[in-house]
């Protein structure tokens, strides 16, 4: 009697976590945000595949965002940062760490080309030195902010 209920009691919190959609902290394919707006041609490049972007599409660490010459894309990240791409743009989300309780914070994006705008969120507020945008011509660092970058091909 007690054996069964003890096991059930130990299992229950874990099951509750699974049902409520909490990813284990060690999950490799951690969801880091979602697509909110799509105009024209836009895609998420993931593991060699091109996924057409649509509102509600979840983003994973290491995704690359890409837009066609007629496209633009708006995404929200888990730390409430906002990232938008104009046409003919490509940005790789190289690192996204948002676990303040473990002192794990950071966001690194690499812009290959095009135009982006970024409004920093909680990672930018708690640890601005961990936010970086790498481009072929220079690296941008922040102090909690809203900015835009254009990289000509």
Partner 1 sequence: MPPPSPAPPPAPAKNVFLLLPDAQGRVGAVTVTNAGGVRTLDTAGQATRVRDAQSAPTVPQVLGQAEIEGLFGAALITEPVPPMHFNLYFEADSTALTAASRDDIPRILDAIRERSSADTSVTGHTDTLGDPKRNFELGLRRAMAIGSLLAAAGVDPGLLDIGSHGETNLLVPTPDGAAEPRNRRVEVTVR
Binding residues (CB under 8 A) for partner 1: these are 16-17, 19-22, 31, 33-34, 36-37, 39, 55-58, 72-76, 78, 80, 82, 84-87, 89, 100-101, 103, 115-117, 119-120, 122, 124, 126, 128, 135-152
91's CB contacts (< 8 A; 6+ apart) are 64, 65, 66, 83, 85, 109, 110, 111, 112, 114, 116
CB of 1 to partner 1, least distance (A): 27
Query: Which one, 47 or 102, has the nearer CB to partner 1?
Result: 102
CB of 123 to partner 1, least distance (A): 11
Structure tokens, 147: 């900015």
- 77 CB neighbour count, 10 Å cutoff: 22
CB of 47 to partner 1, least distance (A): 21
- Asked if residue 57 lies in contact with residue 35, where contact means CB atoms within 8 angstroms, the answer is yes
């Amino acid at each position: 009697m007690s054996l069964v209920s003890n096991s059930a009691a130990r299992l229950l919190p874990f099951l509750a976590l699974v049902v409520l959609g909490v990813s284990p902290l060690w999950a490799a394919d951690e969801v880091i945000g979602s697509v909110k707006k799509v105009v024209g041609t836009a895609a998420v490049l993931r593991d060699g595949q091109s996924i057409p972007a649509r509102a509600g599409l979840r983003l994973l660490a290491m995704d690359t965002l890409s837009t066609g010459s007629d496209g633009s894309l708006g995404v929200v990240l888990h730390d409430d940062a906002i990232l938008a791409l104009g046409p003919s743009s490509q940005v790789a989300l190289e690192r996204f760490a948002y676990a303040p309780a473990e002192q794990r914070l950071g966001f690194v994006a690499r812009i290959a080309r095009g135009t982006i705008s970024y409004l920093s969120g909680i990672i930018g507020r708690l640890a601005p030195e961990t936010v970086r945008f790498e481009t072929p011509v220079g690296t941008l660092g922040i102090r909690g902010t809203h900015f835009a970058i254009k990289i000509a091909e």
